[in-house]
Amino acid sequence: MFKYEFHAHNNECSKCASSSAVEMVRAFHAAGYAGMVFTDHCCCGYSNVPTEWSWDERVRFYYDTYLKAKEAGDELDFDVHFGWEHYVGRGKEILTYGIDVEFLVQNPDIPDLTVEEYCDRVRAYGGYTAQAHPYRRRPDIDELWHPFIHAVDGIEVYNAANGPCHNAKAMLLAVAHPELGRLSGADSHHVNDSIGRAGMIFTHRLRTNAELVAALKAGEGQLIVDGKPMETLDDFLTATPL
């Protein structure tokens, strides 16, 4: 069985993180994971990349940071994937998987796209999008903006940084829309931040972008919730009560 983390940040790219990409790789490996996806804040929102840089310079910095992490992962036989958390305004974000630097370089208008346009482009490139923490509540998040279930491929039903009731609401949203995939992520920003509490368990390694996206589209992967594999919906709602 192979555990993967689907929501993690590093301090090179995300303003809200305090641990480096290599430190995060080593921490997840030490926790028994087979791999992880870096979903750093993109070139808007909580990005740590200088805004005065050109689009090309900014996205290549993200990817160069990922390549450093991948090199560290390769030394540990640990799969490191590139993704990002796209900020769409009003405190809402879209987790993005299966893209690479060429996709980003070819789409410099990403910050100006609607949510629908962005998700369509990712999907056309062979990627996958998921609504991040759809019911998180913070002063900077607009509660009147509902999850973009009409645009995304999946929903982050468990986020280790969310309150239980917010995760339960996310799962109930997914139950109401069975066409959407379900993901679990730690939303880790530091080496001691929720590592081991979230992620997904697969029966095989996800070594490439194509394998990762195919597994998500197929609905594979068992959710990890508060450090435990979830067998049933009742198990999930017991662990994350409304």
Mean pLDDT of 133-153: 87
Structure tokens given for 179: 């066409």
Q: What angle do CA 186, 38, 81 make, to 5 degrees?
A: 120
Taking all residues of the chain, what is their mean pLDDT, rounded to a whole number? 94
Domain of 68, in residue numbers = 2-239
Of 163, 136, 134, 161, the residue nearest 146 (C-alpha)? 134
Q: Residue 228's domain is classified under what CATH number? A: 3.20.20.140
Average pLDDT over residues 141-153: 88
Domains contained in the chain, number = 1
Q: Identify the burial level of 106 via C-beta atoms within 10 angstroms of its C-beta, where 0-12 means exposed, 13-18 middle and 19 or more buried.
A: exposed
Q: Compute the radius of gyration of the chain from its Cα atoms.
A: 16
Q: Tokens at residue 120, please?
A: 């369509």
pLDDT of 138 reads 78
The confidence band for 147, taking pLDDT boundaries of 50, 70 and 90, is very high
Residue bearing the bigger pLDDT, 46 or 149? 149
Q: Say yes or no to pLDDT of 143 above 90.
A: no
pLDDT at 91 over 90: no
Q: Which residue has the higher pLDDT, 18 or 113?
A: 113
pLDDT confidence band for 27 (50 / 70 / 90) = very high
Kindly state the percentage of the chain with pLDDT values over 90.
85
Average pLDDT (31-55) is 90
Beta bridge partners of 129: 96
Residue 146 has pLDDT above 90, yes or no: no
Q: Is the pLDDT of residue 125 over 80?
A: yes
Q: 48 falls in which pLDDT band (50, 70, 90)?
A: confident
> Is the pLDDT assigned to residue 42 strictly greater than 90?
no
pLDDT tens-digit readout, 154-206: 999 999 999 999 999 999 999 999 999 999 999 999 998 899 999 999 999 99
pTM here is 0.96
pLDDT digits (tens, 9 = 90+) for 183-197: 999 999 999 889 999
